[in-house]
Chain A
Amino acid sequence: AQSVTQPDIHITVSEGASLELRCNYSYGATPYLFWYVQSPGQGLQLLLKYFSGDTLVQGIKGFEAEFKRSQSSFNLRKPSVHWSDAAEYFCAVAAPGKLSFGAGTTVTVRA
Protein backbone atom coordinates (compact mmCIF):
# COMPACT_ATOMS: atom_id res chain seq x y z
CA ALA A 1 0.00 0.00 0.00
CA GLN A 2 1.16 3.51 -0.68
CA SER A 3 1.94 6.05 2.04
CA VAL A 4 3.28 9.56 2.42
CA THR A 5 5.38 11.06 5.19
CA GLN A 6 5.74 14.76 5.78
CA PRO A 7 8.39 14.99 8.51
CA ASP A 8 7.79 18.62 9.39
CA ILE A 9 4.56 19.36 11.25
CA HIS A 10 5.12 23.10 11.42
CA ILE A 11 7.54 25.45 9.69
CA THR A 12 7.96 29.15 10.38
CA VAL A 13 9.64 31.25 7.75
CA SER A 14 10.26 34.95 7.32
CA GLU A 15 8.62 36.76 4.45
CA GLY A 16 11.01 36.85 1.53
CA ALA A 17 12.97 33.84 2.72
CA SER A 18 13.06 30.53 0.90
CA LEU A 19 10.86 27.61 1.83
CA GLU A 20 11.30 23.87 1.47
CA LEU A 21 8.74 21.31 2.54
CA ARG A 22 9.76 17.69 2.69
CA CYS A 23 7.76 14.75 1.41
CA ASN A 24 8.73 11.09 1.32
CA TYR A 25 6.55 8.47 -0.28
CA SER A 26 6.30 4.73 -0.31
CA TYR A 27 4.87 3.09 -3.39
CA GLY A 28 5.83 -0.01 -5.31
CA ALA A 29 5.23 1.28 -8.81
CA THR A 30 5.78 4.55 -10.64
CA PRO A 31 4.35 7.19 -8.33
CA TYR A 32 1.94 9.91 -9.29
CA LEU A 33 2.66 12.72 -6.86
CA PHE A 34 0.86 15.89 -5.90
CA TRP A 35 1.23 18.91 -3.68
CA TYR A 36 -1.89 20.68 -2.44
CA VAL A 37 -2.37 23.83 -0.39
CA GLN A 38 -5.26 24.48 1.96
CA SER A 39 -6.12 27.80 3.54
CA PRO A 40 -8.15 27.74 6.77
CA GLY A 41 -11.72 26.62 6.17
CA GLN A 42 -11.11 26.09 2.48
CA GLY A 43 -10.81 23.15 0.15
CA LEU A 44 -7.63 21.93 -1.49
CA GLN A 45 -5.89 23.73 -4.30
CA LEU A 46 -3.49 21.81 -6.52
CA LEU A 47 -0.04 23.42 -6.59
CA LEU A 48 1.66 20.95 -8.89
CA LYS A 49 1.84 17.32 -9.90
CA TYR A 50 4.37 14.81 -11.18
CA PHE A 51 3.43 11.95 -13.44
CA SER A 52 6.55 11.39 -15.51
CA GLY A 53 9.24 13.22 -17.46
CA ASP A 54 11.25 16.12 -16.11
CA THR A 55 11.86 15.58 -12.43
CA LEU A 56 11.72 19.29 -11.65
CA VAL A 57 8.11 20.37 -11.79
CA GLN A 58 6.89 23.93 -11.89
CA GLY A 59 3.61 24.83 -10.29
CA ILE A 60 1.42 27.77 -9.54
CA LYS A 61 2.22 30.64 -7.18
CA GLY A 62 5.96 30.29 -7.80
CA PHE A 63 6.26 26.80 -6.31
CA GLU A 64 8.36 23.98 -7.70
CA ALA A 65 9.04 20.42 -6.63
CA GLU A 66 11.74 17.92 -7.42
CA PHE A 67 11.12 14.21 -7.75
CA LYS A 68 14.03 12.06 -6.59
CA ARG A 69 13.36 8.40 -7.10
CA SER A 70 16.54 7.29 -5.30
CA GLN A 71 15.40 9.11 -2.17
CA SER A 72 11.66 8.47 -2.60
CA SER A 73 11.17 12.17 -2.13
CA PHE A 74 9.12 14.94 -3.70
CA ASN A 75 10.11 18.11 -1.88
CA LEU A 76 8.33 21.40 -2.47
CA ARG A 77 10.24 24.67 -2.71
CA LYS A 78 9.64 28.35 -3.14
CA PRO A 79 12.51 30.84 -3.46
CA SER A 80 10.78 33.78 -1.78
CA VAL A 81 7.79 33.37 0.49
CA HIS A 82 4.92 35.84 0.62
CA TRP A 83 2.65 36.35 3.62
CA SER A 84 -0.20 34.83 1.61
CA ASP A 85 1.68 31.52 1.50
CA ALA A 86 0.77 30.87 5.13
CA ALA A 87 -1.38 27.73 4.91
CA GLU A 88 -1.45 23.98 5.29
CA TYR A 89 0.42 21.98 2.66
CA PHE A 90 -0.30 18.37 1.80
CA CYS A 91 1.74 15.95 -0.24
CA ALA A 92 -0.13 13.04 -1.82
CA VAL A 93 0.58 9.91 -3.83
CA ALA A 94 -1.96 8.33 -6.14
CA ALA A 95 -2.58 4.69 -6.81
CA PRO A 96 -5.42 3.35 -8.95
CA GLY A 97 -8.61 4.41 -7.25
CA LYS A 98 -7.01 6.05 -4.26
CA LEU A 99 -5.13 9.15 -3.16
CA SER A 100 -3.06 8.95 0.03
CA PHE A 101 -2.19 12.14 1.87
CA GLY A 102 0.59 13.02 4.21
CA ALA A 103 -0.24 14.51 7.59
CA GLY A 104 0.41 18.00 6.32
CA THR A 105 2.82 20.80 7.14
CA THR A 106 1.61 24.09 8.55
CA VAL A 107 3.52 27.06 7.23
CA THR A 108 3.59 30.27 9.23
CA VAL A 109 5.05 33.38 7.65
CA ARG A 110 6.43 36.09 9.90
CA ALA A 111 6.88 39.65 8.80
Chain B
Amino acid sequence: GAVVSQHPSWVICKSGTSVKIECRSLDFQATTMFWYRQFPKQSLMLMATSNEGSKATYEQGVEKDKFLINHASLTLSTLTVTSAHPEDSSFYICSAVPAGPSYEQYFGPGTRLTVT
Protein backbone atom coordinates (compact mmCIF):
# COMPACT_ATOMS: atom_id res chain seq x y z
CA GLY B 1 0.00 0.00 0.00
CA ALA B 2 0.84 3.73 0.06
CA VAL B 3 1.99 4.00 -3.53
CA VAL B 4 2.68 7.33 -5.18
CA SER B 5 3.17 7.68 -8.91
CA GLN B 6 4.57 10.48 -11.02
CA HIS B 7 4.05 11.18 -14.67
CA PRO B 8 6.02 11.57 -16.78
CA SER B 9 9.14 9.85 -15.48
CA TRP B 10 11.24 12.00 -17.76
CA VAL B 11 10.55 14.90 -20.09
CA ILE B 12 12.56 17.03 -22.46
CA CYS B 13 11.19 20.43 -23.42
CA LYS B 14 12.40 23.48 -25.25
CA SER B 15 13.30 26.69 -23.49
CA GLY B 16 10.29 28.96 -23.10
CA THR B 17 7.69 26.21 -23.04
CA SER B 18 5.74 24.92 -20.06
CA VAL B 19 5.65 21.39 -18.72
CA LYS B 20 3.27 19.74 -16.28
CA ILE B 21 4.21 16.97 -13.87
CA GLU B 22 1.54 14.89 -12.16
CA CYS B 23 1.74 13.28 -8.75
CA ARG B 24 -0.88 10.73 -7.77
CA SER B 25 -1.53 8.76 -4.61
CA LEU B 26 -2.79 5.47 -5.97
CA ASP B 27 -4.25 3.73 -2.94
CA PHE B 28 -4.85 6.41 -0.35
CA GLN B 29 -6.18 9.91 -0.04
CA ALA B 30 -3.62 12.62 0.52
CA THR B 31 -4.66 15.90 2.00
CA THR B 32 -1.09 17.12 1.75
CA MET B 33 1.48 16.65 -0.96
CA PHE B 34 4.99 18.01 -1.17
CA TRP B 35 7.17 18.93 -4.13
CA TYR B 36 10.93 18.63 -3.94
CA ARG B 37 13.73 19.46 -6.28
CA GLN B 38 17.01 17.58 -6.37
CA PHE B 39 20.17 18.61 -8.16
CA PRO B 40 22.80 16.00 -9.04
CA LYS B 41 24.71 14.73 -6.03
CA GLN B 42 22.63 16.86 -3.69
CA SER B 43 19.87 16.38 -1.18
CA LEU B 44 16.19 17.07 -1.67
CA MET B 45 15.11 20.67 -1.41
CA LEU B 46 11.50 21.32 -0.47
CA MET B 47 9.85 23.62 -2.98
CA ALA B 48 6.28 23.79 -1.77
CA THR B 49 3.56 22.20 0.29
CA SER B 50 0.30 21.50 -1.46
CA ASN B 51 -2.96 21.12 0.45
CA GLU B 52 -6.07 19.88 -1.27
CA GLY B 53 -8.45 22.69 -2.09
CA SER B 54 -6.18 25.52 -1.04
CA LYS B 55 -3.23 27.48 -2.34
CA ALA B 56 0.19 25.94 -2.11
CA THR B 57 2.72 27.22 0.38
CA TYR B 58 6.06 27.94 -1.23
CA GLU B 59 9.45 27.84 0.43
CA GLN B 60 11.54 30.96 0.50
CA GLY B 61 13.27 31.57 -2.80
CA VAL B 62 10.88 29.48 -4.89
CA GLU B 63 9.07 31.49 -7.52
CA LYS B 64 5.36 30.76 -7.21
CA ASP B 65 4.62 32.20 -10.65
CA LYS B 66 7.15 29.93 -12.25
CA PHE B 67 6.28 26.74 -10.40
CA LEU B 68 2.51 26.49 -10.40
CA ILE B 69 1.07 23.90 -8.07
CA ASN B 70 -2.49 22.65 -8.11
CA HIS B 71 -3.96 20.10 -5.70
CA ALA B 72 -7.43 19.70 -7.12
CA SER B 73 -8.31 16.36 -5.56
CA LEU B 74 -7.27 14.12 -2.69
CA THR B 75 -5.24 11.96 -5.03
CA LEU B 76 -3.70 14.37 -7.51
CA SER B 77 -1.31 17.28 -7.37
CA THR B 78 0.34 18.87 -10.38
CA LEU B 79 3.46 20.97 -10.76
CA THR B 80 3.68 23.14 -13.86
CA VAL B 81 7.02 24.66 -14.73
CA THR B 82 6.16 27.72 -16.77
CA SER B 83 8.45 29.30 -19.34
CA ALA B 84 11.10 26.72 -18.58
CA HIS B 85 14.78 27.54 -18.92
CA PRO B 86 17.84 25.29 -18.85
CA GLU B 87 18.47 26.14 -15.20
CA ASP B 88 15.12 24.54 -14.37
CA SER B 89 16.51 21.19 -15.48
CA SER B 90 16.43 18.98 -12.43
CA PHE B 91 14.93 15.92 -10.79
CA TYR B 92 11.53 16.70 -9.30
CA ILE B 93 10.09 14.41 -6.62
CA CYS B 94 6.70 14.55 -5.01
CA SER B 95 5.51 12.99 -1.79
CA ALA B 96 2.12 12.47 -0.23
CA VAL B 97 0.85 12.22 3.32
CA PRO B 98 -2.25 10.15 4.06
CA ALA B 99 -5.25 11.91 5.54
CA GLY B 100 -5.11 12.01 9.32
CA PRO B 101 -2.23 12.61 11.73
CA SER B 102 0.95 11.30 10.14
CA TYR B 103 4.57 12.29 9.95
CA GLU B 104 5.41 9.83 7.23
CA GLN B 105 5.64 10.90 3.61
CA TYR B 106 5.39 8.48 0.71
CA PHE B 107 7.55 9.40 -2.23
CA GLY B 108 6.99 9.18 -5.95
CA PRO B 109 9.68 7.84 -8.29
CA GLY B 110 10.63 11.31 -9.53
CA THR B 111 10.54 13.14 -12.85
CA ARG B 112 13.68 14.08 -14.73
CA LEU B 113 13.17 17.41 -16.52
CA THR B 114 15.64 18.52 -19.16
CA VAL B 115 15.19 21.92 -20.76
CA THR B 116 17.08 22.46 -24.01
A residues in contact (CB < 8 Å) with B = 32, 34, 36, 41-46, 49, 51, 90, 94, 96-99, 101-104, 106
Contact = CB atoms under 8 A, between A and B. Distances in A.
Given A90-B44, A97-B49, A103-B43, A32 B93 contact: no
Given A32-B103, A99-B34, A42 B110 contact: yes
B32 A98 contact: no
B63 interface: no
Top-6 shortest CB links A-B: A43-B109, A94-B103, A44-B107, A32-B103, A43-B110, A101-B43
A94 B34 CA distance: 13
B96 to A, nearest CB: 12
B64 interface: no
B107 A43 contact: yes
Interface string B76-95: 00000000000000010101
Interface of B: 6, 32, 34, 41-44, 46, 49, 91, 93, 95, 103-105, 107-110, 112
Contacts of B110: 41-43
Nearest to B101: A96
B43 to A, nearest CB: 5
A98 B46 contact: yes
B37 to A, nearest CB: 12
A97 B32 contact: yes
Nearest to A96: B103
B103 A101 contact: no
Contacts of A98: 46, 49
A34 B37 CA distance: 19
Given A44-B93, A49-B104, A94-B103, A101 B109 contact: no
Contacts of A104: 42-43
A98 B45 CA distance: 11
Nearest to A104: B43
5 contacts: A44-B107, A94-B104, A99-B95, A99-B103, A104-B43
